[in-house]
């Protein structure tokens, strides 16, 4: 079969035309332009006057600092995105992916091993090229504005652990998908869907107990006024919660956060130690009530179901592309292989991913309103408002983002929108 593909490959080379290549390049250019336009629109609002509802978030000096922080991040984003854009265009133009594929094939002819070596080369090369940007972001920008608490040792440790997880999870899933494809051909997407769904459920249940400890220390919230206040609220709303943990977020940053994770008996709420330091007991309970609101409104369950359905649809569409050798050749490979199709499909499918992402963000913002409404119904919403204001001030958040940028990128409503909804 390969000799047939080789003949077609030579024909397309002689014609000098590959429709998938043109499509891939067009999508990359469009995505870059779209992101730059959205960023420029957002940057145009940095000097906007603060609405009266959020005018008390910043003192004058702090507001200037937040504007400067957002401007610096915008310029840095322009630099990194431009670098990435020029890099991927060069890689496609000069068939670097095909060269990586040849390197992988020089070691083995086994399809799964070739794919794993191919993606390992890409991951390593990408990480080497992007590490200087990550170092600058962490140790220059975040340090300059007082956020960074990461040491070089922690930074390197995170890198190594990230590689380990990518190898185990990413490599394992990739190997299984290719194995299913080799065994079942066009029906592989069903087996892959089932496998990915099981892994998704497993990670959702055990993320905090298996993955988080690799990076952070979690300790049960100590007995005291805060735990008593949390327990009193949980008892009042009929929410059984035995697992309240504090995570050492201050190990990396001064920014504060909280999140709900797990399902069933594995559910837990995790509070950053920085959150506990920055907020009052009432404000922390309000934040926790918001997280409980997500559970009570079944957002976690709904999101899991939608994620599984989206995965199945994506895998089915992907299965329709696996027989097309033009996708492999569009990336510069001379041998048709599923791992090259995976890479090409990821780019070609990105416009659909963007559209789906808009829907996901819209649903997420709706869920945030509902969780806030839960606080309004069962607790004092003013404590949530004051907590959100404090967190926005501490994190130097942009309080006047452009609506288009919010529409495309925000999974949460803006602070102004949340305050208006809570005070309605």
Question: Looking at the annotation, which residues are catalytic?
Answer: 291, 372
Query: For every residue of the chain, which 3-state class applies, written as one string?
Result: CHHHHHHHHHHHHHHCCCHHHHHHHHHHHHHHHHHHHHHHHHHCCCCCCCCHHHCCCCCHHHHHHHHHHHHHHHHHHHHHHHHHHHHHHHHHHCCHHHHHHHHHHHHCCCHHHHHHHHHHHHHHHHHHHHHHHHHHHHHHHHHHCCCECCCHHHHHHHHHHHHHHHHHHHHHHHHHHHHHHHHHHHHHHHHHHHHHHHHHHHHHHHHHHHHHHHCCCEEECCCCHHHHHHHHHHHHHCCCCCCEEEECHHHCECCCCEEEECCHHHCEEEEEHHHHHHCCHHHHHHHHHHHHHHHHCCHHHHHHHHHHHHHHHHHHHHHHHCCCHHHHHHCCCCCCCHHHHHHHHHHHCHHHHHHHHHHHHHHHHHHHHHHHHHHHHHCCHHHHHHHHHHHHHHCCCCCCCCHHHHHHHCCCCCHHHHHHHHHC
């Amino acid at each position: 079969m390969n000799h047939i593909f080789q003949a077609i490959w030579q024909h397309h080379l002689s014609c000098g035309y590959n429709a998938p290549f043109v499509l891939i390049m067009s999508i990359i250019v469009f995505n870059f332009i779209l992101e730059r336009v959205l960023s420029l629109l957002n940057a145009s609002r940095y000097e906007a006057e603060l609405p009266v509802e959020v005018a008390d978030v910043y003192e004058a000096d702090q507001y200037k600092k937040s504007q400067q922080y957002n401007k610096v991040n915008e310029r840095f984003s322009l630099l990194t995105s431009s670098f990435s854009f020029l890099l991927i265009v060069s890689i496609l133009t000069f068939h670097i992916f095909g060269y990586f594929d040849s390197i992988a094939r020089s070691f083995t002819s086994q399809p799964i091993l070739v794919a794993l070596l191919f993606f390992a080369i890409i991951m390593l090369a990408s990480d080497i090229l992007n590490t200087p940007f990550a170092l600058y972001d962490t140790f220059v920008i975040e340090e300059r504005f007082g956020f960074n608490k990461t040491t070089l040792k922690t930074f390197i440790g995170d890198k190594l652990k990230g590689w380990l997880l990518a190898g185990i999870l990413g490599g394992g899933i990739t190997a299984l998908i290719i194995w299913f494809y080799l065994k079942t051909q066009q029906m592989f997407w069903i087996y892959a869907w089932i496998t990915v769904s099981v892994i998704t459920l497993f990670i959702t249940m055990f993320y905090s107990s298996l993955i988080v400890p690799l990076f952070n220390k979690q300790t049960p919230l100590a007995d005291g006024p805060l735990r008593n206040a949390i327990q009193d609220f949980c008892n009042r709303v009929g929410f059984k919660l035995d697992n309240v943990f504090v995570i050492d977020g201050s190990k990396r940053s001064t920014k504060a956060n909280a999140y709900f994770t797990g399902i069933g008996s594995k559910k837990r709420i995790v509070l950053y130690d920085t959150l506990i330091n920055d907020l009052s007991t009432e404000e922390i309970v309000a934040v926790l009530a918001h997280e409980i609101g997500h559970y009570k409104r079944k957002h976690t369950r709904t999101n899991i179901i939608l994620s599984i359905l989206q995965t199945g649809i994506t895998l089915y569409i992907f299965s329709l592309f696996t027989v097309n050798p033009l996708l492999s050749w569009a990336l510069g490979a001379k041998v048709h292989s599923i791992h090259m199709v995976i890479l090409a499909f990821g780019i070609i499918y990105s416009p659909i991913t963007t559209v789906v992402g808009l829907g996901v963000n819209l649903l997420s913002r709706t869920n945030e309103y509902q969780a806030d409404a839960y606080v309004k119904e069962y607790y004092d919403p003013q404590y949530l408002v004051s907590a959100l204001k404090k967190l926005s001030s501490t994190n130097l958040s942009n309080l006047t983002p452009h609506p288009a940028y919010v529409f495309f990128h925000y999974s949460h409503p803006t602070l102004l929108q949340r305050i208006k909804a809570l005070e309605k």
